[in-house]
Chains A and B, each alone.
Chain A
C-alpha cells in the first residue's frame, strides 16, 4: 500500500478502514539466504537496501524484542556530516545524502528536517579545530560555515552571551544538518523491507551462531534453529554479547547514554546546537519538546538506565548556555546502551568466520549513520566487498595503527 496525501484524505473520509498492517508478522522459515540479527535502525536499513538496491531475496531480520526497540528508538534524533577525518567524513556525507532522499525512497514521512546544526566554540583553539574540520568537510563535498559571535547571536539571542564562564565566540555550522523523527526511520525501513519480501521476525532472540568448518550455517533462536548462508550482526549495544557466541572479543565496551526531553514548549530553538564548554546538545522536536543529552555515564553498563551525576552535568550545561530553561521542566529521561569502540568510530567488516559479518561500534553517533550503515552493510553482505565510503571501518585498523579517532582520546571507550 502506497502512502500519500490523497490516501490520507480518502481514508479519513471512509473511517480509516483501508489501512493495512505496516508489516506482516511471519513465522520464521527453516532457512534464508541472509539473516540480519537485530531489528533496530541499522539492521532494518540493511535488509531494506539488500532487497531494494542489491536485489537480494530470502532475507530475515531477527529481533529479540520489538522492531525499532534499540537505539533507533532512544536517541536525540540528530543528523549531520560534520566529521573531521578521512575515514569518517565520506561515509557520513553519503549518509546525509541518503537522508535527503529517504522519505520519497521508502514512502514514509520520517520528518527529515534540515534546520541546521551549530557547534559552538569558546576558545581560539576550538575555533582553529573547527576551521580545520569545516575545511575537511568541504573538501569531502559537504557544507560548512564558520559563524562569528554576532551571527550566532542573531540566530539565538537568548543564549548566555553576557554572563558566561566560557563566552561564546562563534560556531561551526552545517545547514544541511538537522533532525529526523527517529521511530519513523525504523518503521519506514521495516515497512519498505516487508513490502519487498523481507521477513521481520519479532520476539526472536538469537542464542547461538552455528558454524561448520569455519563457515556460518545458521543461528539458534528462541524460536528454533534457522539456517542461513550469510549472517549479518547489527545489534549495537549488545555486540559483544552476540559475538561471544563465536568467541570473538571486540574492540569495544557497552556504556549507557542518557538522553532527555522537556515538556512541550512553543518554538524556541529552530536547529540543533551543541555547547562547546560543557556536555550539552539540544534541539526542539516538532511537538515542542526540547530533546537534549550530554555525555555517557562513563562506566560499563547494560542496564539501560543511568545515574544522577550525568543528569545534573547535562542540566548544568543547559543552564549555563540557556539560562531561561530553568523554568522548563524535564519530562522524561531514558538510557540506551552504546557500543563504545576503541577509537570512537564504527566497524563494518567481515569476521574470521566465512559468511558472518559485523556492523557495530557506533558509539553514540549511530542514528545519523543509519541509512549509510544499512547501505554499506548490505553492500558488504551482497558483494563481499566494503562499500567505498566504509573501507576504513575494519577490525584490523587497531592492529595496523589506522585508528579513526575524531576526539583524539585513544583506546579508552568512555572518552569517545
Chain B
C-alpha cells in the first residue's frame, strides 16, 4: 500500500506502524467522571469497543521509519483504497483537543 503523507508525499505503507481506529483520539479525561465506575465504563468503551466497519475506516498510522508524524488515514477496509490522509495533530485539534 502507499500512503500519501501530507508533508512528504507518497510513501510505502511499510514505513509506517499501524495503531487502529482513529477514534482513539477521542480519549476521555480520566478526572471528569463522578465516580470510578463511570470512568471505567467510559474508558472501557473508548479502549475496547470498535466499529470495525467493512468499508470506510479512519485509522491511525505512525511514520516510524520517517518523520514520526501520526496520521489519520481514511481507507476502505474492503478495497484498501485510501481517500484521505491528514496529520493526526490537525484532526485532534479539530476535535477540540488541546493540552
**Which residue in A299, A303, A309, A398 is a CB contact (below 8 Å) of B48?**
A398
A34-42, A143-151, A246-254: which lies at the interface: A246-254
The answer to whether B13 has its CB under 8 Å from any CB of chain A is yes
Tell me the minimal C-beta distance from B63 to chain A in angstroms: 14
The answer to whether B27 has its CB under 8 Å from any CB of chain A is no
Given contacts A249-B50, A307-B1, contact A298 B18 (CB under 8 A): yes
Tell me the minimal C-beta distance from A28 to chain B in angstroms: 25
Which of B49, B51, B52, B78 counts the most chain A CB atoms within 10 A?
Answer: B52
The answer to whether B92 has its CB under 8 Å from any CB of chain A is no
- CB pair B20–A251 under 8 Å, yes or no, is no
Q: Which of B32-74 contact A (CB under 8 A)?
A: 40-41, 44-45, 47-54, 57, 59
The answer to whether B98 has its CB under 8 Å from any CB of chain A is no
Closest to A302 in B: B54
The complex places the Cα of A238 from the Cα of B44 at a distance, in Å, of 22
Q: Which of A292-329 contact B (CB under 8 A)?
A: 298-303, 307, 309
Tell me the minimal C-beta distance from B10 to chain A in angstroms: 15
- CB pair B20–A414 under 8 Å, yes or no, is yes
- CB pair B77–A251 under 8 Å, yes or no, is no
- CB pair B18–A254 under 8 Å, yes or no, is no
The complex places the Cα of A195 from the Cα of B78 at a distance, in Å, of 37
**Which residue in A250, A303, A399, A413 is a CB contact (below 8 Å) of B78?**
A303
The answer to whether A240 has its CB under 8 Å from any CB of chain B is yes
- CB pair A251–B40 under 8 Å, yes or no, is no
The answer to whether A342 has its CB under 8 Å from any CB of chain B is yes
- CB pair B52–A240 under 8 Å, yes or no, is yes
- CB pair A240–B50 under 8 Å, yes or no, is yes
- CB pair B41–A252 under 8 Å, yes or no, is no
For A342, the chain B residues whose CB sits under 8 A away are 47-48
The complex places the Cα of A309 from the Cα of B13 at a distance, in Å, of 9
For B19, the chain A residues whose CB sits under 8 A away are 412
Closest to B19 in A: A412
The complex places the Cα of A240 from the Cα of B57 at a distance, in Å, of 13
- CB pair B78–A251 under 8 Å, yes or no, is no
Q: Which of A159-212 contact B (CB under 8 A)?
A: none
The complex places the Cα of A130 from the Cα of B44 at a distance, in Å, of 31
Given contacts A302-B77, A398-B44, A399-B41, contact A253 B50 (CB under 8 A): yes
The answer to whether A98 has its CB under 8 Å from any CB of chain B is no
Given contacts A253-B20, A307-B1, contact A301 B80 (CB under 8 A): yes
For B75, the chain A residues whose CB sits under 8 A away are 299
For A412, the chain B residues whose CB sits under 8 A away are 19-20
**Which residue in B44, B50, B54, B77 is a CB contact (below 8 Å) of A252?**
B50
The answer to whether A122 has its CB under 8 Å from any CB of chain B is no
- CB pair A414–B18 under 8 Å, yes or no, is yes
Given contacts A254-B77, A399-B41, A412-B19, contact A300 B57 (CB under 8 A): yes
**Which residue in B18, B40, B41, B54 is a CB contact (below 8 Å) of A299?**
B18
Q: Which of A360-416 contact B (CB under 8 A)?
A: 398-399, 411-414
The complex places the Cα of A303 from the Cα of B76 at a distance, in Å, of 9
- CB pair B14–A249 under 8 Å, yes or no, is no
For B79, the chain A residues whose CB sits under 8 A away are 303
Closest to A413 in B: B20
Tell me the minimal C-beta distance from B5 to chain A in angstroms: 16
- CB pair A249–B49 under 8 Å, yes or no, is yes
- CB pair B59–A300 under 8 Å, yes or no, is yes
- CB pair A300–B44 under 8 Å, yes or no, is no
The answer to whether A140 has its CB under 8 Å from any CB of chain B is no
The complex places the Cα of A254 from the Cα of B20 at a distance, in Å, of 11
Tell me the minimal C-beta distance from B85 to chain A in angstroms: 14
- CB pair B1–A254 under 8 Å, yes or no, is no
For A238, the chain B residues whose CB sits under 8 A away are 54
The complex places the Cα of A370 from the Cα of B99 at a distance, in Å, of 48
- Chain A interfacial positions (CB closer than 8 Å to B): 238, 240-241, 249-254, 298-303, 307, 309, 342, 398-399, 411-414
What are 26 sample pairs from A and B whose C-beta atoms fall under 8 A apart?
A240-B53, A249-B45, A249-B49, A249-B50, A250-B49, A250-B52, A251-B49, A252-B52, A253-B20, A254-B52, A254-B54, A298-B18, A299-B13, A300-B52, A301-B80, A302-B77, A303-B77, A307-B1, A309-B13, A342-B47, A342-B48, A398-B48, A411-B47, A411-B48, A414-B18, A414-B20
- Chain B interfacial positions (CB closer than 8 Å to A): 1, 13-14, 18-21, 40-41, 44-45, 47-54, 57, 59, 75, 77-80
